[in-house]
Amino acid sequence: MRIAVTGQNGQVARALSEIAGRHGHEVVLLGRPALDLADPSTIAPAIRGARAEAVINAAAYTAVDKAESEPDLAMAVNGAGAGAVAAAAAELGLPVLQVSTDYVFDGSKPEPYVEEDPVGPLGAYGRSKLAGEQVVAEANPRHAVLRTAWVYAPYGANFVRTMLRIAGNKPEVSVVADQHGCPTSALDIATTLLGVAAKMVAEPENRDLNGVFHMAARGEAVWAEVAEAVFAASRAKGGPSATVKRITTAEFPTQARRPANSRLDCAKLERVYGIRLPEWRGPLERTVSRLLNDAKASG
């Protein structure tokens, strides 16, 4: 299967490019300047030129804090841009997969969120991603919106890489311990997206495949637990480590508010697609090991 993927340098796009061949698929990465979600005129020609069987929109404006001062740009990329991708796919009769986020919720629910729960973004980034979900659904009936959370990878800017970098310079790091979520590997996200795309292509008349789905690793943690797991895995491999000082969200103010609960119930994805992501600790440990090996090889 040939899949057009928007984005080139993002964690999910890079993960898709890395693993697609292992699953017998070909990925065509579409990025700037050829495809720019902030410039809708570039989108349809790029997608037509990819000659794909499915489209995955993995490109996005992801600067959560900066979005508070650039809400129009975030909305243009994550809202209108996503809609243009879905419309271009619809014109070609192709399914579109839209990668979305836990930030569409306000985090006040005490249990993991299901797809039918009321949305209520806390900031500009979440509002833009929610708008993207809505316009994608309107533009293309063959759509799967897949919300994920707390994404990390062996590349790109993410929490795991930040913790290892800090541990190389400081003996102690303060980490928030009152935000709950599901740390999810971009490689597992990519594997899931490929499985979803393949099923959508194989069963074009199956309407159950369309709609919103949650896609996150099994298990849950607070950020401080994730940091402790990173340092334990690194320490076991002879890498940098630090002591974690647990703090509250109030002690670590950010420009944009984060949901206190980012846990996602993924039962619908398993029921409809037969896909269940792994428990979060194994992929995290493998990512840490890979980062340490890459550092040794380059150093």
The catalytic residue positions are: 125
State how far the alpha carbon of 251 is from the alpha carbons of 103, 174, 213, 245, 285, in Å. 21, 9, 33, 12, 28
**Burial of 143: CB neighbours in 10 Å, binned 0-12, 13-18, 19+:** buried
Q: Both tokens of residue 273?
A: 């697609």
DSSP string, 146-189: EEE-SEE-SSSS-HHHHHHHHHTT-SEEEEE-S-EE--EEHHHH
